[in-house]
Each structure stands twice: as structure tokens, then as C-alpha cells.
Amino acid sequence: MQTPINHFKRRLYEQQVQIGFWLALADANIAEICANQGFDWLLIDAEHGPQTLSGIVGQLRAIESSQSCSALVRAPGHDPVAIKQILDLGAQTIMVPMVETAEQARAIVAASLYPPAGIRSVGGSRAARWGGYPAYIQESNAQICIIAQIETGLAIDNLEEIAAVDGIDALFLGPADLAATEGLLGPDHFDDLFVLTGQTLARIVATGKAAGILSRDERLVQQYLDGGARLIANGIDSFSLARAVGDNLRDWRTRISQQAAD
């Protein structure tokens, strides 16, 4: 069998807008539920979520079962071993946090690709379906998609150099960490953060690389969508669950209080 086409990467270069959702709870059942809601992609968060390698496999299988939703995995950091393990589990698209320099970006690309393009080591893996994709070693480099997260002032300073690294397919803004590193946390600083994210988006778009953002603030997400971003996410499973459960409880408490008053 041929190594599967990375449809997420194909759509990226066709300049399609792709709507996604964050999986932080590390649960395959939640991944399966979300994958069947119609999202273009789901991201398994191994940076902040309580992920294990076996747990990531379960979530990958759950997402793959939808036949239409693509799975992304955010690596815990820049460690080439962690990147290799995630790819060997079968992820075709990885996001790497806190990319601040072109040198870091080149090292991430090298860790993700087989020689001669990179340094990823060869071994039997789920990604190759344990030999079921006999040409996986030769075919996989073309299907790997690498997204660099821009989350600090230093990363913004080096944005064009990071985007120019061959093998980096998209730049994804992390507004929460950007706000933290630039002293813009809290509602009092939102206007300044809005300006900074808009300026950053314009610079990403000018490089020709796809731009993306995750934020639970719909104003930032809409700003990116209006400005030409193609990777959009404004939801996280943990926060969405908390909001839905809380709204449901408040609704019923209000009903009960009204009935008691009557």
C-alpha cells in the first residue's frame, strides 16, 4: 500500500481555510466525538495536556476513524526524540511550540525528515503500519507537515527568517504566551494585543506561508480570519466541556428558582 496522502497539508497549499479544535484532555472518546462533528482538523496537545505515547495512538485512531478529519499533534518541545516518537506513532502533521529562531526551525525540520533531508532515524513503526506501507521511508518526507508556533517577541523579531526555512509549512500564533511574554495579559491590554497580533498576521501572510491562530477570544480569531489566516481554532475540549456543563447547571438552577418563587 502507498503511504497515505496528508490531506491537511494538501488543503493548506490549496489555500483552503481549515477549522480546528484543541484536544487537551487526552481521551480517545473525546477525540472520536469531536472528530465526527465536522472539524477539518483536531490537535492532540502534548505540550500542556497529560498525554502519553499510548494515549496519543488511541486518539490518532479515533480521529482517523472519521475518514474526514485530520490529526495534528503538538510536540512537548523541540526534543528530536519526542518529535521522532510522535511521527513514528503515525502523526503526519506536527506543531512545535516556542520556535524563536531560524536555527531552531531548521533543527525541527531535520528531526522530522529522513536522510538525506534530515536526521530522523529509521525503525519499525505504526506510521509505516509495520511494513504495510513498504515505501514509507521514501514517501513520508513529502507528507510530513511542520507548523512552527510564534509565541514570543523574539519569535516575532525573527519571523521572516523562520518562515523562510525550507520545510516549515505554516506559522501559528500563540496569543496567550505572546501576551505573557510581552506584558499584555489581562483585559486592560487587549487593544495592544489586538494590534500586535494583527501586525504579526500581516507579516506572516506577506511571507507566503499559511497563518493560523488558536484563541478563545473570538475577536482575535475573527481578526485572523479576516486577515487571510487559513488555520482557525477557537475551542479547547476542557474549556468547552466546563462551559457547557456550567451553562446547563445555571439554566436548571434558574428554572428551579423561578418555580420556587411561583
The verdict on residue 256 lying in a domain is: no
On the question of pLDDT at 262 being above 80, the answer is: no
pLDDT given at position 67: 85
pLDDT given at position 135: 95
Give 152's DSSP letter: S
On the question of pLDDT at 115 being above 90, the answer is: yes
Total domains in the fold of the chain: 1
The verdict on residue 40 lying in a domain is: yes
On the question of pLDDT at 1 being above 90, the answer is: no
The verdict on residue 138 lying in a domain is: yes
The verdict on residue 127 lying in a domain is: yes
Domain that holds residue 202: 7-236
Assign residue 205 the CATH number of its domain.
Answer: 3.20.20.60
The pTM of the full predicted model, rounded to 2 decimals, is 0.95
- With 0-12 / 13-18 / 19 or more C-beta atoms within 10 angstroms meaning exposed / middle / buried, residue 252 is exposed
Cell 436548571 belongs to which residue? Answer: 252
pLDDT given at position 92: 98
| 189 is annotated as an active-site residue | no
The verdict on residue 80 lying in a domain is: yes
Q: pLDDT tens for residues 68-86? A: 999 999 999 999 999 999 9
Q: Three cell numbers at 1?
A: 500500500
The verdict on residue 257 lying in a domain is: no
The verdict on residue 87 lying in a domain is: yes
Number of H helices, E strands in the chain: 12, 8
The catalytically annotated residue of 7, 48, 78, 189 is 48
The verdict on residue 252 lying in a domain is: no
Average pLDDT, integer, range 95-103: 98
